[in-house]
Amino acid sequence: MATTTATITLSSTDLLSDELSLNTTSTLTAAGNSTGLTLASGLSRKKTGNTTEYTLFAAADYTDDKAHKVYLKNISTTAAQYFEIQVAGVVVGRVYAGDWALFPWSADSTGTNCDIDITPSAADMTLEYMLFIDE
């Protein structure tokens, strides 16, 4: 069993009158138990040649209804450039230049095919990504 931790820090001194200083740490464990995730895709980079939609992770390649975790980061430094993230064809949101995201993924392929797809707003953009896999 491996121990992998994810820590998020949200901070701002001027978003509100009261300072925002949130710090949360989570150990990445398998669904319904305390066993650490032992598989990962490896930290990867993908350069998109055009603005067509790409499948980043195909749900059929992973076990359905598990506690997979997805990390994404838009490497672009051009503020207007974004990746639009979709799960099962539903638009989740846009990751602009420098933005990162970490979210759970069910990889459901029984009802709806929950592929994770990305659509870059411009050609030649680079996405960094990693999947933590629940067997």
Please give the residue ranges that form the binding site for other proteins (CB under 8 A): 2-16, 20, 22, 24, 26-27, 29, 31-34, 36-38, 40, 42-43, 65, 67-69, 71, 73, 79-80, 82, 84-85, 87-96, 98-106, 108, 112, 114, 130
Q: Please identify, using beta-carbon distances, which residue of 48 and 106 lies nearer to other proteins.
A: 106
Structure tokens at 29: 């464990």
How far apart are CB 58 and other proteins at their closest, in Å?
Answer: 16
How far apart are CB 27 and other proteins at their closest, in Å?
Answer: 7
The 8 Å CB, 24+ separation contacts for 95-98 are 95/127, 98/73, 98/74
Query: What number of residues does the chain have?
Result: 135
How far apart are CB 57 and other proteins at their closest, in Å?
Answer: 12
| Residue 41: exposure state from Cβ atoms within 10 A (0-12, 13-18, ≥19) | middle
